[in-house]
A and B are shown apart, each in its own frame.
Chain A
Amino acid sequence: MQEKNEVHPSAERAFRAMRISRRRFLQIGGAGLAGATLLGATGCGVFGGGQGGGNGGGGGGKKVFNMYEGADIPDLNSTTTTDAASFSVLVNCMEGLYRLDENEEPVPAMASDVKVSDDKLTYTFTLRDGVKWSNGDPVTSEDFKYAWTRAIDPETAGQYAFIISDFIQGGPEFASGDGSADDLGIEAPDDKTLKATLIYPTPFFLGLTAFATYFPQQKKFVEDQGKDFAQGADTLLYNGPYKITEFDAASKVTFEKNDGYWDKGNVDLDTINVRVVKDLKTVLNLYEGDQIDFARLEGEDVERFKDSPDLEQVIEFTTFYLQFNQENEVMANKNIREAIARGYDKESYVNTLLAGGSVPGTNGLVPPEVAGPGDQTFREFSGDVVPDFDPKAAKEFYQKGVEELGQEPTLELLSQDSSVAREESQFLQSQLQENLGAKVNIVTKPFDAFLDATEKGNYQMSASGWGADYNDPSTFLDLFVSDGAFNDPAFSNDQYDKLMADAKTEADPKKRMEFMKEAEKILLQDEVVLSPNYHRKKSVLIKPFVKKTVIHPFGAEFDYKYWKADAKS
């Protein structure tokens, strides 16, 4: 997913939601005014105070955690949803065949076991005994088949359909409206067995089954609820560690431990109150006022809490980078690109303006922790492929570039209008002007307009970002193949395309990584199509009564199943 620089209000999540929203059009069936759901606000009067709200301390030794979410929770239908807030809710109240553990490794969840064929194309899952929905019905392989088909079906799919349709055989055809559900590689020969046939050997497929789009849904329940499905706490079935007892998209979600969960013995927190708070200053105020037990910090505040025992820095699989539009006359000049890539000091940016809360992008496009071959990370395996900061060399490259262009160009940096993005662009402007002697203009656009401009190629260079959809380098590198949907720099290189295509079909993991290593080098070192600036880390404050937290670096962030805490006194 494309990454947005953090803003003070609803921030990066909103963006994801926006991208979905485009696909969400799909769902606009004849839903008229009838049965207008007031998003759970009904019956509460004006004030939203429920049983769980506010400072729910004490409670007879119950372990209560008060959480906030920085955006609305717009869609709890697992087959259509796309925003991080909804993902975070769903991963706690539902569960797929596998679940990511604390180290991002997939571990059996609804499935107890899987058999993978020798060609790595067929996965046969066996469902765990005794797994059931919150209405008492058993979770069956038919539920998975139903949900997966719904997630791909263009009539019912959401924008994240690709995360399933790109991998399952027959998926791309069905998703584009040409194929049929009957040709999908999903079979449920009996209640306990699910067979999935893939298009390519996909080494990270088990991890994908932990993703919300792969969660099961019970056909009978979904059809009974009709339009009301997933609109309120009562119109959703739960098979995860928690049940939702209260839900209002605009203000709150309340989780209670699910006693019917197969692994309930390992679930520690009893109640989690999630409140929607969009303003980061308000979040901090609430944290200092003990109303919430978790807060996210940005910029200056990271520095202010540097010595606080509550501070924790959490890795994210994200990369923020400068991308150069190959179709732009100035940026088509390789010397200019080389100059810019060497012309700004990433470490200084990370250490000052980001207050050390991130990792400078001095190594590669793929973030440091993304998995590589065997036990290695991809970064360890492929080493550094980014030109070092070198003002002197940069200036030389730049002058060479200017000579080739025949005249001094005006560089134009397209940026978003969020506060962090504005800081980033001002830093880059100042650095490039100073180090290259170039003239740099900043153009800021609201996020949607920004995406529109980069997509259509109406820019020279842009400060963009991307976050992983799964734990594999291809989630980044696939972007830049010639016909890639998000290939905003309009990069086209036969060798690159071939390497990425080979990586897709290669069954040997090691060889696959070799191809991608080669590809990344072409992208950053040989052609300098982009220049990674930094990989973001989340800086968060967590109240000390919480003993253990698990925050995933991509997909659903907050997985409370693994959290441990003391009861508040």
Chain B
Amino acid sequence: MLRYTARRLVIAVFTLFIIATVTFFIMQLLPGTPFNDEKLSDEAKAQLEAKYGLDDPLVVQYARYMANMAQGDFGNSFYYNNTPVLGILLGRFPVSAFLGFQAMVVGVFVGMALGIVGALKHNTFWDSTATVVAVLGISIPSFVLGPLMQYWVGVKLGWLPIAFFDSWKHSIMPSIALSVFVIAIIARFMRTEMLEVLAQDYITLAKAKGLSALGVVLRHAVRNSLIPVITVIFPLVVGLVTGSLVIEQIFAIPGIGELFVTSIVVSDYFMIMGTTVFFAVLFVVALLIQDIAYGIIDPRIRVSGGKE
């Protein structure tokens, strides 16, 4: 287990290294440079570039950038009054994390319920209904659903706050808009998983032993289907954080999805790089947890070296 974990860890760190590198060089390709200002004279520009080491060879700049990043220094934002990028990211993260977590909890429970119904009533009206609901969840983009909810639930019906993030009530609509996609994924996954488990011999045995239908479902089927479902949750968490790009903007919530969009719009280079690497860290950590969880749950994976 230790060796397996260590190997996943090495891969994770290496992945981050690659991402940071690629991001750095992509930034060099972006149109314009920080000093590409017509109102600066050539001498002033050269002076500035020397001051910030931008006249160094690209390799030197790259090394410096990586060294700083390794120490947690992502550089300073041009846009936000020269504030350190990491500080801004950490300040914005709790908001996104809260939203994502809430959407996840809602999504997992509703999704599981739908999945269970679908599997138990396999190939009936209920199954089709559950499937259609799940498919609708994937099919309706959150950027269509969000504004619709905002308009109907917020403005027309007045049930929930229209936008902002001032209290828990404010978080309900954006959470639901985000969770729809989770519901869909979990429901599908749960359904197939349940169907498979229900076909297993031990279920037949449990039934033969005289366990009630409900008992079979709860004690055996759901529990055994749950494990694989848990493992898909981690990558979904990150999907939520990135998926909130539009939702946060629509609901005027100052989270990191919104920050990423803003930093692109205003070409805040260090912020774009910082956000990209930050997202990557989240993603890689989630995958790492998932891999380790897999390893614990299913020892075979440790041996064969990876999941499929």
Contacts and interface: CB of A to CB of B under 8 A. Distances in A.
Interface of A: 9-10, 14-15, 17-28, 31-33, 36-39, 41-42, 46-50, 53-54, 72, 74-77, 80, 154, 159, 162, 175-177, 230-231, 248-251, 275-279, 281-282, 285-286, 288-289, 291, 445-449, 451-453, 455, 485-486
A279 B267 contact: no
A46 B150 contact: no
Given A282-B251, A285-B155, A455 B38 contact: yes
A560 to B, nearest CB: 21
Majority SS at the chain B contact face: loop
B91 interface: yes
Nearest to A23: B37
Interface stretch (B28-36, B117-125, B207-215): B28-36
Given A9-B249, A47-B170, A448-B31, A39 B82 contact: no
Given A22-B36, A38-B87, A282 B162 contact: yes
B154 A289 contact: yes
A490 to B, nearest CB: 12
Interface of B: 30-41, 43-44, 47-48, 52, 71-73, 76, 78-84, 86-88, 90-92, 94-95, 98, 147, 150-151, 154-155, 158, 161-168, 170-171, 249-252, 254, 258-259, 261-262, 265-268
Contact of A277 (B32, B44, B47, B252): B252
B205 to A, nearest CB: 48
B95 A46 contact: yes
A9 B88 CA distance: 20
A449 B36 CA distance: 12
B155 A289 contact: yes
A448 B267 contact: yes
Contacts of B88: 38-39
A276 B267 contact: no
A288 B30 CA distance: 40
A455 B265 contact: no
A250 B147 CA distance: 21
A47 B79 CA distance: 24
Contacts of B87: 33, 36-39
Nearest to A447: B265
A285 B39 CA distance: 40
A445 B39 CA distance: 22
B103 to A, nearest CB: 14
A425 to B, nearest CB: 19
A29 B274 CA distance: 19
B92 A41 contact: yes
Contacts of B44: 154, 175-177
Contacts of B95: 46, 48
Given A177-B47, A282-B250, A24 B147 contact: no
Given A42-B91, A47-B170, A446-B31, 14 more contacts: A10-B266, A14-B265, A18-B267, A18-B268, A31-B84, A47-B165, A47-B166, A48-B164, A48-B165, A72-B262, A249-B81, A289-B155, A291-B162, A449-B32
A278 B36 contact: no
Nearest to B268: A21
Contacts of B78: 20-22, 24-25
A9 B82 contact: no
A27 B37 contact: no
B34 A278 contact: no
Contacts of A449: 31-32
Most-contacted residue by chain B among A22, A38, A289 (CB, 10 A):
A22
Closest 10 CB pairs of A and B: A36-B87, A49-B166, A21-B78, A38-B91, A485-B38, A250-B254, A449-B31, A75-B81, A452-B31, A41-B91
Nearest to A449: B31
B154 A49 contact: no
A452 B36 contact: yes
13 contacts: A14-B266, A17-B79, A32-B84, A33-B87, A41-B91, A49-B166, A230-B81, A275-B164, A275-B252, A285-B151, A289-B155, A291-B163, A446-B31
A248 B37 CA distance: 28
Nearest to B265: A14
A451 B36 CA distance: 10
B168 A47 contact: yes
A39 B39 contact: no
B23 to A, nearest CB: 17
Given A176-B43, A279-B252, A49 B76 contact: no
Most-contacted residue by chain A among B79, B86, B98, B170 (CB, 10 A):
B79
Nearest to B96: A46
B164 A28 contact: no
Nearest to A227: B82
B174 to A, nearest CB: 11
Nearest to B246: A279
Contact of B52 (A28, A31, A278): A28
Contacts of B249: 9, 278-279
Contacts of A445: 31
Nearest to B33: A22
Contacts of B84: 31-33, 36
Contacts of B47: 154, 177
Given A9-B261, A177-B47, A285-B163, A31 B76 contact: yes
A284 to B, nearest CB: 9
B250 A39 contact: no
A448 B32 contact: yes
Contact of B267 (A21, A36, A75, A176): A21
Nearest to B49: A25
A231 B162 CA distance: 29
Contacts of A28: 52, 76, 82
A230 B47 CA distance: 27
B39 to A, nearest CB: 5
Contact of A33 (B79, B86, B168): B86
B72 A33 contact: yes
A451 B267 CA distance: 12
A10 B265 CA distance: 8
A281 B149 CA distance: 12
A21 B266 contact: yes
A25 B34 CA distance: 7
Contacts of B155: 285, 288-289
Contacts of A41: 91-92, 254
